[in-house]
Copies of this chain bind each other. A is one copy, B any other.
């Protein structure tokens, strides 16, 4: 098919190793030879086979990165952040779309091993025994994103500091004068951390905790709006005097707003609403949503950096990293 390094060598009457050295920019080659080789490469339209190179060098410069749900732009931005840094360091990213399926994750990891990836950045929906075993077996450096692995696993991870962020949001709402603040909880590990922060805050300030958990399975997070609606309904029924709601995602917040407006309650005049994520439509007039913004790109970048440190042996066992969040104040929250 395509020309090989041998063809190039033959074409300009040098040995294969010489061509290889030219290709890899070795300096102990006479300029004359180098030029001949370049000319031949051009002429024969030769492109070195990555496959052969991988085999020969026994490393692939390939990093596997899982995307839990390709439809969720959040993850895409994580990925974009990681990609940039890795490419700068000569690595290619191999994406795996998990569609929220643990099974797909397993098969991706199996693939990773067959393909001899140099590293992995994963965002599992759940840390199961099976997953930990698999990671153990494949002998590929791995860092986790957004889902805290069990301490004992030794898998380093990068996430936003949801505890601190929640505290900040609650402080913000509290400083506005709100004392009856509800919280819509996401039934995930992260959700639990935020709930914990929420409850701690309530305890410290001596206000009532009003958290309601939505019952959406982890693989159906796209029904978030409906769930926000239902959660708001519950809150409204159980705690009619609530003046502020902190929802665990913007989508939940929007669902809540839909409910409130349906009931003739004005946001923010009657009740303040805040979310998490700063999705791109959060800034639209109707929503104008106050939200806790996560560092999407930066997370990916940080995870990639961590992985590179491990792969290139700069750091065998890096510290976990919790990135700061920030609160974006818009019109959906208002002074009591």
Contact = CB atoms under 8 A, between A and B. Distances in A.
Contacts of A79: 70, 97
A192 to B, nearest CB: 26
Interface in A92-107: 92-95, 97, 99
Interface residues of A, number: 48
A51 B116 contact: yes
A202 interface: no
Contact of A50 (B70, B115, B262): B115
Contacts of A51: 51, 54-55, 60, 115-116
Interface string A278-316: 001100111100000000000000000000000000000
Q: Please state the number of chain copies in the assembly.
A: 2
A76 interface: yes
A336 interface: no
A45 B133 CA distance: 13
A83 B139 CA distance: 27
Interface of A: 1-2, 45, 47-52, 54-55, 58, 60, 70-73, 76-77, 79-80, 83, 92-95, 97, 99, 110-111, 113-116, 137, 139, 222, 225, 254, 258, 261-262, 280-281, 284-287
Given A47-B114, A261-B285, 19 more contacts: A1-B58, A1-B139, A47-B110, A49-B116, A50-B115, A51-B51, A51-B55, A51-B60, A51-B116, A55-B55, A72-B73, A73-B73, A79-B97, A80-B97, A83-B97, A94-B94, A222-B280, A262-B285, A281-B281
